[in-house]
Amino acid sequence: MNLDAEEIRLRLPHIELAGCLFGPKNGQPVIALHGWMDNLMTFARLVPHLRGLRILALDMAGHGHSAPRPTGASYSLFDYAVDALHAADFMGWQRFSLLGHSLGAIISAMLAAAMPERIDKLALIDGLIALTIPAQHAPGAMTAALSALASPKIRQSRAHPDRQSAITARMRGIVGVNQEAAERLAVRGLAESAEGFRWNNDPRLKLPSHIYLTPEQAHAFTRALSMPTCLILAEQGLLKVRPGVEQLLKELPLCVHQLPGRHHLHLESEQSAQAIAERFNRFFAT
């Protein structure tokens, strides 16, 4: 990471994760969780502008430089929450705050709702509520997940002939990013082999989930949040288009700031990163 960062390996009871530490050692403890198929470099623009925080940014399991889940294990929201708690214990942090983007924001909100005695504050970027399905669709979702896991060969990520081709593929991904954002994510996400350049995320991350929350369950987690929470909403992001989110945000005592930009606004634009940091610095200082 092209920042004043300390690389760290977290040998947890069940998995080994990679991370970076930023900020003063006596700063407020914060664990930062990135989005799906990203890595901790998603915070590369934002972190330099944050003040007074001791941030542990993680490559989540199966992403970046962290280990994948063991064979037979899955990438559920619950498992990511367990990882975050073990990471806090590894650091000796009984209480800490969470900074999350997208999937990382969803995990942060669910963990905070379930374990409020451990969490001081929540700082979220374009993420809050888990993807949901109606209860009657749950058996079919599990059928799809079991069938995918039973496949004799899970398709590996595509090998690209050169680095720029791999970066271009990330720019055109399911959630696209601009060139500079893709290049930053490539620092920890791209690996060279005899076949070419591959994104090193565990291919199982793309398999269907075995279980989803219902809308009622997902909203119950959000309504259970009791700690100060600051949410950055991207004008062209993904959270705004989720059904029922606009009404839910009106009902919750959250500090919400809507800013111009896409889903990765904190990484794609220096101006957006500074604007987010300005709001988060005020939030953490109060």
Catalytic residues: 102
Rg of the chain, C-alpha, whole Å: 18
Q: Is 286 helix (H, G, I), strand (E, B) or coil?
A: coil
H or E element, residue 21: strand 16-22
Question: Which token pair is 115?
Answer: 């374990």
Q: Which residues pair with 97 in a beta bridge?
A: 30
With 0-12 CB in 10 A as exposed, 13-18 as middle and 19+ as buried, what is 106?
A: buried
* DSSP-assigned letter for residue 225: -
Q: Which residues pair with 136 in a beta bridge?
A: none
User: 10 and 90 in contact (C-beta within 8 Å)?
Assistant: yes
Length of the chain: 286
Q: Give CA angle at 77 (74, 83), nearest 5°.
A: 85
H or E element, residue 189: helix 179-189
Mutual angle of helices 215-223 and 103-114, in 10-degree steps: 70
